[in-house]
């Protein structure tokens, strides 16, 4: 499949001096509009999980969108492109299913993730300090939750800048 071939490229070879070979992905859970991917590599003859991500379909009226969640990248694979590849996998999955956008939540403690998502075209649409954790956690930790989204409407026209009448 396209997703399987996407992850057959050699990734973390130079990072894993112990002898990692190839990164591959497997679908742990796939429904028509939901999916969970795991990126793995063989290191010293044993499979190791390098990262994972999930997407779940959400409906709002007639609009369908995907929610990206559970993006986790192994410490030794951060800043090497694996998160970018997994995020692109989710975006492509959502485009193929006709979703209008991809949404996600991350926190102010995850600034590398915020930078990655911004690089991919996500924008912060809401920020708040409420969380599903105990009510005292976010204020005590001074954590802000960012809700980010990326529009997938390929046919959307960009606004035309106003014409200066003096030109």
d(CA 100, CA 147): 16
For the 2-151 domain, the top CATH level (class) is alpha beta
Provide the 10 A C-beta neighbour count for residue 131: 16
Do 145 and 127 meet the contact criterion of CB atoms below 8 Å apart? yes
Task: State the pairing for strand pair 46-60/35-43.
Answer: antiparallel
Q: What pLDDT is stored for residue 41 in this prediction?
A: 82
Which 3 state secondary structure label does DSSP give 45?
coil
Q: What pLDDT is stored for residue 138 in this prediction?
A: 55
* Domain limits, the chain: 2-151
Average pLDDT per consecutive 10 residues, the chain (167 residues; last block may be shorter): 33 34 52 84 82 91 92 88 92 93 92 94 85 59 86 59 47
């Amino acid at each position: 499949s396209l997703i399987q071939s996407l992850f057959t490229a050699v990734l973390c070879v130079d990072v894993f001096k112990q002898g990692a070979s190839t990164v591959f992905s497997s679908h742990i859970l796939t429904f028509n509009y939901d999916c969970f991917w795991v990126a793995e590599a063989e290191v010293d003859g044993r499979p190791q999980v390098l990262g994972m991500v999930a997407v779940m379909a959400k409906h709002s009226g007639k609009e369908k969108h995907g929610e990206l969640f559970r993006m986790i990248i192994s410490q030794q694979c951060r800043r090497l492109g694996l998160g970018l590849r997994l995020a692109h996998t989710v975006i492509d999955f959502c485009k193929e299913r006709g979703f209008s956008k991809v949404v996600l939540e991350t926190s102010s403690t995850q600034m590398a993730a915020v930078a990655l998502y911004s690089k991919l075209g996500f924008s912060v649409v809401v920020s708040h300090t409420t969380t599903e954790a105990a009510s005292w956690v976010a204020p005590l930790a001074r954590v802000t939750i960012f809700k980010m989204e990326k529009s997938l409407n390929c046919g959307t026209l960009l606004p035309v800048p106003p014409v200066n009448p003096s030109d």
